[in-house]
């Protein structure tokens, strides 16, 4: 039996009494700062989504989330007896950038960046209403920004949405999301992240995309294509879930993998029926070389392992990695066989990645003849694919 009591001592201030001791909680809906027996923590949630984020602070207060580099937790470190997953060719990042990241961290960066496709164009943006009290200037300014946004005039749109932020409290949520989006298009990723974090902390009704929001009124039906992996992306509507997904992408692009994982885990746990979110989480676990979590992800959610789509094929690739690293080679062999059956309609570049994973699996298994066979087949298809020439040469010498 657990004992816990929460005592209100002032607006937004509570004393928490439990068997573990006394704690102090400060904050309102969505954002809390807690000091307890286990040290200070900050937590916030996204209203209406079930997404919840919690971070232990090391004396850095709120600045730890907004500006400091993440501190790797023990649960995110690769076990000493595990090997890195098979490396693969990057098409979204320059190889020089990948090498810089590898030298700094000892890990291979996932070939994925927070680069957004142009927004879908809408036939016509509704006209601004007639002058209606003090809300009209901000609403008119937001509409002007919306017109600029769908016409891909991002610098001008950014200025318009920034002005809304400086003049309106009611529409701060809408303005923060569109400021973040336009900043992302302009390559101003720090500004975009600040706006997204502020949206999570300060967001209040109406949230973007909800009835009554300016986003729903002036940008109805507009979606943004957010990359999730090298091969997969999602067309997401302008709402709070899309903002969380974009924030995850920006965190990973900056190498803040642990924080990105926490946001992606919360987003996936709140929406476990979306395979694209599972794929994003698998990609992050692989990047962090957290193969225990990668393995558990597919043990708990195996229903999306199907090569009938590119997304399902990429999920099977990550499942093959998890089984290979765990030494379950026969199971991994079966996954790769099913993954590479009838893939003529799949993305050829993705198929090469899966073929590379299969050959790597055989080499780790000690079946060098099979490894050489499949590496050689891939070499004949694309002799410049990542390090394929070196892998073939090394196996040929050992044959």
Rounded to whole angstroms, the Cα distance separating 264 from 255 reads 15
pLDDT at 134: 45
186 CB burial (10 A radius; 0-12, 13-18, 19+): middle
For the stretch 326-348, pLDDT in tens is: 999 999 999 999 999 999 999 99
Cβ pair 279, 306 in contact under 8 A: no
Is the pLDDT confidence value at 21 over 50? Answer: yes
% pLDDT > 70, the chain: 66
Of 392 and 57, which is predicted with more confidence? 392
SS3 letters across 59-79: CCCCHHHHCCCCCCCHHHCCC
Altogether, the residues listed in the chain come to a count of 399
pLDDT at 88: 45
Span 156-170, average pLDDT: 89
27 CB burial (10 A radius; 0-12, 13-18, 19+): middle
Measure CA 188 to chain center.
Answer: 18
pTM of the predicted protein model: 0.70
pLDDT at 289: 94
pLDDT at 127: 74
For the stretch 249-298, pLDDT in tens is: 998 888 899 999 998 998 899 889 899 999 999 999 999 999 999 999 99
Is the pLDDT confidence value at 11 over 60? Answer: no
Is the pLDDT confidence value at 398 over 90? Answer: no
Weakest mean pLDDT among 4-8, 156-160, 315-319, 365-369: 4-8
Of the candidates 73, 69, 101, the one whose C-alpha atom is nearest the C-alpha of residue 87 is: 101
Cis peptide bond N-terminal to 206, omega within 30: yes
Rounded to whole angstroms, the Cα distance separating 306 from 278 reads 13
pLDDT at 15: 54
For the stretch 217-254, pLDDT in tens is: 999 889 998 889 989 988 899 998 899 899 999 988 88
For 228-275, give the DSSP string.
-SSS-EEEEESSHHHHHHHHHHHHHHTT-HHHHHHHHHHHHHH-TT-H
Span 138-165, average pLDDT: 93
Q: Which two three-digit tokens encode residue 227?
A: 């990359």
Most confident of 26-30, 32-36, 310-314: 310-314
Of 111 and 348, which is predicted with more confidence? 348
pLDDT at 75: 35
Is the pLDDT confidence value at 72 over 70? Answer: no
Strands (E), the chain: 4-10, 13-18, 21-26, 31-36, 39-46, 51-56, 223-227, 233-237
Span 374-395, average pLDDT: 94
Is the pLDDT confidence value at 110 over 60? Answer: no
Cβ pair 350, 332 in contact under 8 A: no
Span 123-130, average pLDDT: 67
% pLDDT > 90, the chain: 50
Give the chain's domains with CATH numbers. Answer: 4-64 (no CATH), 105-270 (1.25.40.10), 290-398 (1.25.40.10)
Of 131 and 171, which is predicted with more confidence? 171
């Amino acid at each position: 039996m657990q004992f816990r009591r929460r005592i209100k001592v002032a607006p937004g201030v509570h004393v928490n009494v439990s068997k573990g001791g006394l704690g102090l909680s400060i904050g309102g809906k969505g954002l809390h700062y807690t000091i307890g027996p286990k040290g200070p923590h900050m937590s916030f949630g996204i209203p209406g989504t079930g997404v919840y984020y919690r971070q232990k602070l090391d004396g850095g207060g709120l600045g730890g989330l907004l500006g400091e580099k993440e501190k790797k937790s023990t649960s995110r470190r690769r076990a000493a007896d595990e090997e890195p997953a098979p490396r693969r060719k990057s098409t979204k990042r320059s190889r020089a950038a990948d090498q810089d990241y590898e030298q700094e961290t000892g890990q291979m960066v996932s070939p994925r960046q927070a680069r957004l496709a142009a927004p879908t164009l809408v036939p016509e943006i509704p006209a601004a209403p007639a002058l209606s009290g003090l809300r009209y200037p901000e609403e008119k300014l937001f509409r002007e920004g919306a017109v600029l946004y769908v016409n891909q005039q991002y610098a001008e749109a950014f200025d318009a949405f920034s002005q809304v932020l400086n003049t309106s409290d009611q529409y701060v949520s809408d303005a923060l999301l569109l400021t973040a989006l336009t900043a992302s298009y302009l390559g101003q990723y720090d500004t975009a992240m600040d706006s997204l974090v502020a949206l999570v902390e300060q967001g209040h009704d109406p949230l973007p995309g909800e009835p009554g929001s300016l986003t729903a009124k002036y940008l109805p039906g507009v979606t943004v294509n957010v990359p999730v992996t090298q091969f997969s992306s999602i067309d997401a509507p302008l709402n709070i879930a899309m903002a969380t997904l974009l924030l995850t992408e920006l965190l990973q692009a900056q190498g803040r993998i642990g924080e990105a994982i926490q946001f992606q885990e919360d987003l996936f746990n709140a929406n476990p029926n979306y395979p694209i979110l599972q794929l994003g989480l698998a990609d992050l676990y692989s990047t962090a070389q957290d193969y225990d979590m990668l393995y558990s992800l597919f043990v708990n959610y195996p229903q999306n392992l199907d090569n009938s789509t590119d997304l399902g094929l990429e999920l099977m690739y990550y499942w093959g990695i998890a089984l290979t690293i765990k030494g379950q080679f026969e199971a991994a062999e079966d996954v790769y066989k099913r993954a590479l059956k009838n893939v003529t309609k799949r993305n050829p570049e993705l198929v090469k990645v899966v073929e590379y994973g299969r050959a790597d699996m055989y080499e780790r298994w000690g079946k060098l003849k099979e490894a050489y066979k499949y590496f050689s087949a891939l070499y004949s298809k694309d002799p410049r694919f990542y390090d394929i020439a070196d892998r073939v040469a090394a196996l040929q010498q050992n044959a």
